[in-house]
């Protein structure tokens, strides 16, 4: 094969390589994997490649290679060199053979391993002795260690993690820009370590390494039960840091946290994720994190037990400030100042005030305003979401809370000091933007933006349901519903991969998946195994694979996926079906009683079996990708069997609800010969309802795909573009800047839903203005309105299905997805009956164009008349379709 590769050079081709750090949790245990994108003015396709790994950037010695290999692979390719060792630095480069010759080597991509083995650690976790924080909120521990370096550093790395959340400083300078490190994982099995390059922060002579500790998820409030919402993971926080310095003379110095450190407290008197932060600057210890500070009155640090076997390098993206806003200011009742960021965010307010010593400043937060203009805080339930400050001196001070965040658009500041400036800092797990969408319908464009924000705001270390109330948990149902959309909007591959490791850790021995991951709800009902929640175990890895071509995530998760299915098998009743258990079901069906969101129209037993069949099928598909034909065969048989019995039992019922039909079509429950009939039933239900949404968390993401699959586009658009309650665009008209949890969170008369719930396990209240689950429709907007869809058979957008389905009323759409191969994009427009589009496909990507052609259309691609579907290669293509097939919802509610 490889002798078919060219010998000549291809100077017109350039390769850009990126290393996929292996799934979190197995770094160092598997070989690295690479993606590369190619740009070329000379070549049309890749025919082979060669990869090299070396310890130095010049590739002068110690080179290991793979290839030349014949093939077009550019995604998810195994790199040479095997697993990394602790502290190893490795450079990787790629060159490709094209139909025009060999490219030059790419610029190298560099990876560096952290500490991969428990034995690498000499440090011990430390904290303040007799820290009272376990029982109540208490001052944030400060920790410091002064040390000398006999010579200037050549290279220095700081490996750090904590029980609780931390911030570290070297010589008074904050190390890195991560917030709330080490994030939230299944701490008892997995605690993430961040490694920082701190070479530039050290000098010869005296130095100080210092840190602060917050309660975070480890010890702070977590969950809505005030009786047991603290100390979920432990009673003592602790900082574990190991600084490894290589000096200019070649010698090495290691400074680790241990009993020789000193501990005290400072101005942060309390910090909690839900309640906020209290700062009293009169307790500030000036210079505490720098050399020369007298720490003789500080206590010796106490060592906290920490099992080094749970330490793993962080590979998931850290939480950072991702955007800042200058809020509008206006007077609020009682002399307060109201701030309006114009955007609902997860984040904090930073203030600059000018005041006098002893002045206080209080900042409260809320997502929306009450009709009378006051802050709406009822939805926060018990989360105080309040930051407070006491000034220590006269003059100007910058105030910012630590170790907390709030879900808010509005804040109210009460103070006697002068408010000089205010900034709203939005935080998120820092995934890079991937999808862009804009169209001539301003409301739909804004809805897309709202969904992006709900993702940003809810991707804070784990995928949460909401960022504001006393909850913020990794609800698995919300995650599975939204995962495909999340993968389109932001590069969330490693974010999901990390969370899935925790999901598997939190699965019970018999395979049940908790309703929230990390699981803090225990192992009773409704904490385990709910249909459409537990199935995140199969649905999320598959969504990641389709979007990014990630066989490694599939391989890592297959045991977890199989375990869920075998758990469900074990719960089948005599008739072979699941039944009779509590289910969240089609949660928040707008026709369910407002206070009992689980009492949806669609049978939850039907849904339980449909998701069971679907999960079994996803195991089969995964096993097929991984080459395990036996596993694939057994799970296909199981899926077919469960689907057939489910259909036999619930066919009639399924045809009566939108969720029933959509699930039957999208989860493969209806047999192929029944699809058209189910599609007609669904379309009829949608038409009869005038496009009104009649589905909850499980049905909503599937309705438009099901209508599209069966050719009922007019009905799909009737729903998408509806403005009356309940609909996606209603909330946009109401001024929403994120996606709401309840369709009618704010009613047409401006009143706010009371959110009251009566559940089998007790009464509660639930109303969030920032829940991404219903935003799942955005994936359909990319696939169908814009017409950009990844093909599961050639995942990672190696092959895309370009099937735009225009609709009357939207005459212009632009969309793109920044794939690892390069940006895939389309701009289309309709004018009269003519559809015109420009496609951009990067090197390595092919597309199948299914033009929106009617019976009398003339279709041309790049000036040539064509018929039927057309294959497009890399490059820019112009498409036009006369007398195009343009869907027409023709309903009064369509603007």
Is there binding between residue 679 and ligand BGC (CB under 6 A)?
A: no
Determine the Cα–Cα distance for residues 515 and 759; give it in Å rounded to an integer. Answer: 15
Residue with nearest beta carbon to ligand BGC? 465
Stretch that binds ligand BGC, among 53-61, 469-477, 535-543, 780-788 (CB under 6 A): 469-477
Residue 234, both tokens:
């432990």
Q: What's the distance, CA 1 to chain centroid?
A: 41
Is there binding between residue 73 and ligand BGC (CB under 6 A)?
A: no
Is there binding between residue 474 and ligand BGC (CB under 6 A)?
A: no
**830: three-class secondary structure by DSSP:** strand
Determine the Cα–Cα distance for residues 298 and 259; give it in Å rounded to an integer. Answer: 13
Minimum distance of ligand BGC from residue 771's CB (angstroms): 6
Residue 699, both tokens:
């049905």
Is there binding between residue 478 and ligand BGC (CB under 6 A)?
A: yes
For 150-153, the CB contacts below 8 A with 24+ separation are 150/204, 150/247, 150/249, 150/251, 150/253, 151/204, 151/247, 151/248, 151/249, 151/251, 152/202, 152/203, 152/204, 152/247, 152/248, 153/199, 153/202, 153/203, 153/245, 153/246, 153/247, 153/248
Minimum distance of ligand BGC from residue 875's CB (angstroms): 43
Which residue, 525 or 675, has its beta carbon nearer to ligand BGC?
525
Is there binding between residue 153 and ligand BGC (CB under 6 A)?
A: no
Minimum distance of ligand BGC from residue 438's CB (angstroms): 29
Name which position in 36, 403, 587, 780 contacts ligand BGC (CB under 6 A). 587
Name which position in 179, 766, 853, 884 contacts ligand BGC (CB under 6 A). 766
Helix (H) or strand (E) holding 617: helix 604-625
Is there binding between residue 589 and ligand BGC (CB under 6 A)?
A: no
Is there binding between residue 156 and ligand BGC (CB under 6 A)?
A: no
Minimum distance of ligand BGC from residue 502's CB (angstroms): 17
Name which position in 184, 490, 542, 584 contacts ligand BGC (CB under 6 A). 584
Strand-pairing partners, residue 828, are: 813, 837
Evaluate whether 379 touches 466 at the Cβ level (below 8 Å): no
Rg of the chain over CA atoms, in angstroms?
Answer: 28
CA dihedral 700, 701, 704, 705 (to 10 degrees): -140
Helices (H), 336-421: none
Is there binding between residue 586 and ligand BGC (CB under 6 A)?
A: no
DSSP 540-587: HHHHHHHHH--HHHHHHHHHHHHHHHHHHHHT--TTS---SS----ST
**204: three-class secondary structure by DSSP:** coil
Stretch that binds ligand BGC, among 123-131, 351-359, 475-483, 777-785 (CB under 6 A): 475-483
**475: three-class secondary structure by DSSP:** strand
Is there binding between residue 535 and ligand BGC (CB under 6 A)?
A: no
Which residue, 245 or 537, has its beta carbon nearer to ligand BGC?
537
Minimum distance of ligand BGC from residue 744's CB (angstroms): 16
Helices (H), 170-288: 216-219
Helix (H) or strand (E) holding 757: strand 756-759
Is there binding between residue 470 and ligand BGC (CB under 6 A)?
A: no
Minimum distance of ligand BGC from residue 363's CB (angstroms): 25
Which residues, in sequence order, are CB contacts of 195 under 8 Å at separation 6+?
A: 112, 114, 115, 157, 158, 159, 160, 313, 314
Minimum distance of ligand BGC from residue 546's CB (angstroms): 23
Minimum distance of ligand BGC from residue 545's CB (angstroms): 24
Active site residue 367: no
Active site residue 370: no
Stretch that binds ligand BGC, among 176-184, 245-253, 465-473, 781-789 (CB under 6 A): 465-473
SS3 content of the chain, % helix, strand, coil (to 5): 25, 35, 45
Is there binding between residue 466 and ligand BGC (CB under 6 A)?
A: yes
Stretch that binds ligand BGC, among 471-479, 535-543, 568-576, 714-722 (CB under 6 A): 471-479
Evaluate whether 782 touches 788 at the Cβ level (below 8 Å): yes
Is there binding between residue 534 and ligand BGC (CB under 6 A)?
A: no
Could you say which of 50, 412, 471, 715 is catalytic?
Answer: 471
Name which position in 102, 218, 437, 475 contacts ligand BGC (CB under 6 A). 475
Which residue, 381 or 722, has its beta carbon nearer to ligand BGC?
381
Stretch that binds ligand BGC, among 142-150, 472-480, 705-713, 785-793 (CB under 6 A): 472-480
Binding site for ligand BGC (CB under 6 A): 465-466, 471, 475, 477-478, 584, 587, 766, 771
Active site residues: 471, 741
């Amino acid at each position: 094969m490889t002798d078919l590769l060219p010998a000549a050079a291809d100077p017109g081709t350039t390769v850009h390589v990126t290393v996929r750090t292996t799934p979190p949790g197995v770094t160092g245990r598997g070989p690295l994997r690479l993606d590369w994108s190619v740009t070329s003015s000379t070549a049309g396709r890749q025919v082979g490649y060669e990869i090299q790994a070396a310890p130095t950037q010049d590739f002068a010695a110690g080179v290991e290679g793979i290839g030349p290999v014949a093939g077009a692979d550019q995604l998810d390719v195994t790199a040479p060199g095997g697993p990394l060792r602790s502290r190893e630095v490795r450079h990787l480069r790629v060159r490709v053979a094209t139909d025009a010759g060999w490219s030059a080597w790419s610029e190298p991509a560099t990876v560096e391993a952290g500490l991969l083995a428990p034995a690498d650690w000499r440090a011990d976790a430390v904290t303040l002795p007799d820290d009272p924080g376990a029982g109540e909120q208490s001052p944030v521990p400060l920790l410091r260690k002064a040390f000398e370096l006999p010579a200037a550093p050549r290279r220095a790395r700081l490996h750090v993690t904590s029980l609780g959340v931390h911030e570290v400083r070297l010589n008074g300078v904050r190390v890195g820009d991560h917030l709330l490190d080490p994030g939230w994982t299944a701490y008892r099995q997995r605690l993430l370590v961040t490694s920082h390059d701190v070479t530039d922060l050290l000098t010869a002579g005296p130095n100080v390494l210092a840190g602060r500790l917050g309660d975070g998820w480890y010890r702070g409030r977590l969950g809505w039960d005030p009786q047991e919402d603290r100390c979920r993971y432990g009673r003592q926080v602790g900082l574990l840091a190991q600084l490894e310095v290589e000096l200019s003379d070649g010698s090495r110095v290691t400074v680790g946290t241990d009993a020789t450190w000193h501990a005290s407290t400072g101005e942060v008197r309390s910090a909690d994720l839900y309640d906020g932060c209290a700062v009293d600057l009169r307790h500030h210890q000036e210079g505490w994190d720098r050399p020369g500070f007298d720490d003789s009155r500080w206590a010796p640090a106490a060592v906290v037990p920490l099992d080094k076997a749970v330490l793993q390098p962080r590979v998931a993206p850290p939480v950072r400030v991702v955007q800042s806003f200058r809020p509008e200011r206006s007077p609020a009742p009682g002399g307060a100042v109201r701030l309006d960021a114009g955007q609902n965010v997860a984040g904090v307010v930073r203030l600059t005030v000018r005041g006098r010593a002893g002045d206080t400043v209080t900042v409260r937060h809320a997502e929306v305003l009450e009709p009378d203009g006051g802050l709406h805080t009822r939805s926060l339930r018990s989360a105080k979401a309040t930051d407070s400050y006491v000034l220590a001196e006269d003059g100007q001070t910058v105030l910012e809370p630590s170790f907390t965040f709030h879900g808010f658009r509005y804040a109210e500041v009460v103070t006697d000091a002068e408010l000089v400036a205010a900034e709203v800092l939005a935080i998120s797990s820092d995934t890079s933007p991937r999808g862009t969408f804009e169209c001539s319908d301003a409301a739909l464009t804004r809805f897309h933006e709202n969904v992006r924000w709900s993702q940003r705001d809810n991707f804070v270390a784990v995928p949460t349901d909401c960022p504001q109330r006393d909850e913020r948990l990794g609800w698995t149902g919300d995650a599975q519903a939204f995962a495909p959309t999340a993968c389109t909007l932001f590069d969330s591959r490693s974010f999901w991969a990390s969370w899935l490791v925790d999901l598997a850790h939190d699965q019970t021995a018999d395979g049940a998946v908790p309703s929230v991951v990390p699981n803090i709800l225990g192992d009773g009902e409704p904490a385990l195994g709910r249909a459409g929640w537990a199935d995140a175990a199969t649905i999320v890895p598959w969504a990641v694979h389709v979007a990014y071509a990630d066989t490694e995530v599939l391989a890592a998760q297959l045991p977890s996926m199989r375990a869920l299915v075998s758990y469900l098998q074990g719960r089948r009743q005599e008739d072979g079906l699941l039944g009779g258990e509590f289910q969240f079901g089609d949660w928040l069906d707008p026709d369910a009683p407002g206070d009992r969101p689980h009492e949806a129209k669609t049978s939850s037993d039907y849904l339980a079996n449909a998701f069971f069949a679907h999960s079994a099928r996803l195991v089969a598909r995964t096993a097929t990708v991984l080459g395990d034909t036996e596993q694939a065969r057994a799970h296909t048989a199981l899926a077919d069997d469960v689907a057939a019995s489910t259909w036999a039992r619930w066919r009639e019922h399924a045809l009566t609800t939108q969720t029933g039909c959509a699930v039957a079509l999208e989860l493969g429950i209806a047999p192929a010969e029944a699809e058209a009939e189910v599609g007609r039933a669904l379309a009829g239900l949608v038409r009869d309802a005038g496009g009104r949404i009649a589905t909850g968390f499980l049905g909503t993401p599937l309705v438009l795909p099901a209508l599209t699959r069966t050719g009922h586009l007019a009905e799909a658009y009737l729903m998408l573009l509806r403005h009356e309650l309940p609909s996606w665009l209603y909330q946009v008209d109401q001024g929403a800047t994120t996606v709401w949890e309840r369709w009618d969170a704010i009613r047409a008369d401006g009143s706010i839903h009371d959110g009251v719930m009566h559940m089998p396990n007790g009464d509660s209240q639930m109303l969030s203005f920032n829940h991404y689950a219903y935003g799942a429709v955005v994936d359909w907007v990319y696939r169908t309105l814009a017409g950009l869809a990844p093909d599961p058979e050639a995942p990672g957008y190696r092959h895309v299905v370009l099937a735009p389905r225009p609709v009357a009323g939207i005459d212009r759409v632009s969309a793109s997805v920044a794939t690892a191969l390069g940006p895939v994009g389309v701009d289309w427009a309709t004018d009269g009956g003519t559809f015109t589009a420009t496609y951009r496909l990067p090197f390595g990507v092919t597309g199948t164009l299914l033009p929106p052609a009617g019976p009398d259309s003339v279709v041309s691609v790049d000036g040539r008349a064509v018929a039927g579907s057309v294959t497009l290669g890399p490059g820019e293509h112009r498409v036009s379709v006369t007398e195009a097939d343009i869907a027409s919802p023709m309903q009064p509610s369509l603007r």
